């Protein structure tokens, strides 16, 4: 017993952390027509925001403010979707959590 032959290692070796890519961009989560559709959606909503900002004077601005809100929201949400699906965030959050969001 003095030589240590009785005792085995009781701890497991440390697991290596998962290797991250230097660039976290991937297009595999938006296959086929989905990526171009989201890109066009972001582009159109950005053009809508720009067109709304061009208007300098209006007589009844309620509709214009609503249009500003919806176009800006659509632009930001489409950018968020593109960022989540085209980066490593999708793997970090896992697919079930992304679908719930």
CB neighbour list of residue 64: distance below 8 Å, 6 or more residues apart: 52, 55, 58
Two tokens, residue 58: 């209006």
pTM, two decimals, is: 0.65
Residue 12 binned pLDDT confidence (cut-offs 50, 70, 90): low
User: CA-to-CA distance for 88 and 24, rounded, in angstroms?
Assistant: 5
Two tokens, residue 22: 């230097």
What is the pLDDT, as a whole number, of residue 74? 92
What is the pLDDT, as a whole number, of residue 83? 84
| DSSP string for residues in 69-98 | HHHHHHHHHHHHHHHHHTSTHHHHH-HHHH
Place of tokens 């159109």: 44
Residue 59 binned pLDDT confidence (cut-offs 50, 70, 90): confident
Residue 2 binned pLDDT confidence (cut-offs 50, 70, 90): low
The dihedral through the CA atoms of 23, 44, 75, 58 has a sign that is positive
């Amino acid at each position: 017993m003095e030589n240590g032959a009785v005792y085995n290692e009781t701890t497991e070796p440390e697991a290596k952390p998962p290797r991250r890519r230097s660039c976290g961009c991937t297009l595999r989560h938006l296959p086929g027509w989905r990526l171009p559709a989201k890109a066009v959606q972001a582009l159109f909503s950005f053009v809508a925001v720009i067109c709304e900002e061009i208007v300098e004077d209006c007589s009844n601005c309620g509709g214009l403010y609503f249009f500003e809100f919806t176009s800006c929201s659509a632009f930001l949400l489409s950018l968020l979707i593109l960022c989540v699906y085209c980066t490593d965030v999708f793997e970090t959050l896992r697919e079930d959590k992304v679908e719930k969001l």
